[in-house]
Structure 1
Amino acid sequence: MVLDMGIGSRLRDAREAKEISLDSLQETTKIQKRYLVAIEEENFSILPGKFYTKAFIREYAIAVGLDPNELMAEFSEEIPSPSEDTTTQYTRIHRSRKDNMPTKNSAIFSIVPTLFVIILIFGIIFVVWWFVISKANDENKTTPNANSDDYITRETENKNKNTNDDTNNKENQDTDENTGDATEDTDNNDEDSSAETDENSTLSMDVVEAGTGTKPTSTIELSNVGDSLTFEFEAANVQVWLDVENGNGQKFFSGFVKPTEKTTVDMTGQEQIYLNVGSAPNLTITINDETLEYPVDPSQRGADHQKIWLNVIKENE
């Protein structure tokens, strides 16, 4: 009697027919040996996730010379598929800076005691100064002889000297004020120009729509892209499945991003980019040296697998 052969037996027989050892297959597919054994024994529960079951089987089939599409179709009932969770609405991650800043009233109330102390200190200093000046003026009035010609002459000379000093001081003060105003205007113009240049040259990523439910699909707008558009993908701890396509469905990358390698994809000139990330918690995405924050928190249930559309906004739009 002929027994029905499972998908694990089919893959093992194909491997043995080509005289490929598990160690050699591990080196070819970059899949850990214990996962390869689990696939042959159809013990899919120990694989890192249900999403990886199909991906690992596909890599195994290609390595031993089998057609992965025919194999998937033939054993579709044996291969587990991710269960669908109830739809959960997630809020957008793009928040206003006002929500994260303290209110102005609380800041004002916190500095009122300090201002009061400062004003009190200046008041005391002013009273002491006024008292000293008044006492000195009284002493000057009583000391000289009003009938002395020398005293009158000295008083006249002092008044003329004070008048000339006041005139010179006023002219110097006006010159300094004009120079200071011109310098301040120049500095302000330089600061405004520098700030405007920095703002216009920085890549901006704005969430248009955050996905919901299992395998959420989100939309992000990219502005201030510049002359080039470069994506870098870096996996942490485990290899992560990734698809990168343009708006016409043309694939620029499809496969596993390995932890030991940084994958770079040039998307310069593309107006729309599609990303299919198999494990968002384990994949860091950088666009023109700016880190992309996932629209949906990857730690949420069902949000580890995310799909993202990125629309490039041209500078003249």
Structure 2
Amino acid sequence: MSELGARLRQARTERNLSIEDIQALTKIQKRYLHGIEEGNYDSMPGPFYVRAFVRQYAEAVGLNGDEILDTYKSEIPVATKATPTPTQASTSRRTYRGGGNRLMEIFPMIVVALFVVAILAIAYLLSQRAPVDAPVDEVGDSEIIIETQQPETTPSGEEEEETEESQQEQEPEEQTSQVTITETSTQGENSYFDLSGDEEIAVRIQLTGDSWLSIQNEAGQELLESARVYTAADESVTFDLPAQGTYRVRLGFSDRANVFINDQQVEYPTSSNPRNLFFTWTN
């Protein structure tokens, strides 16, 4: 196993992720992921794909893909550009000269074809022209239909009151959340918030792509299935906080999820993956 493969495998096991989880996040086949961990790049399509797969693997386990490529560049194969052989170059030159002779042969045919197309276009335009002055007595009778708009009837006073009452009954009252979200600090991959105001607090995570999530209470107990990989097909995950206290929401990919507290979106940096959001709920 190479140093690069060992580094990626260590990061994966620290996050309790299997090869199947990495495949679900990156869409890379398992045999290529095993090849990266074992340092066996011969099974991959080419050097370009090796670099792309390594970067995706690193970001899936919370590492910086560009830094990993730069640190272990000596282990990663580099793509090279093939140069044309002298035989290929001479063949290209001969083909170009032959193409010029072929063009001179078909040039008269092109001129004749353009001339025929021009004649056909002029004939079509002449056939489409309508007579400028038509005799008045040849114009047939035509039926003219005028549609009139019926005036809207104005309801009486009683009808207006009934209409206003029915509209008021149909319009639902807007429910506004009273929760207050205050960001206290941000340190590295951790962001801290204070929550207050509402008697009930719900955390909703709206997914825009594949990511793994977890929610813990201040005792470190997992309130969601630990490190489960959620997909955009799950749409959203909602969790009601059972009591006041401090909770940690951990996002595998912070730029693939939007977090809401009682339908109020939480603003947080997406510069690092994974990201921890700590919410302290008090009244």
Structure 1 or 2: larger helix share?
1
Higher-Rg member (1/2): 1
* Superposed pair shares fold, TM > 0.5: no
State the TM-score, normalizing by the size of structure 1.
Answer: 0.39
State the TM-score, normalizing by the size of structure 2.
Answer: 0.43
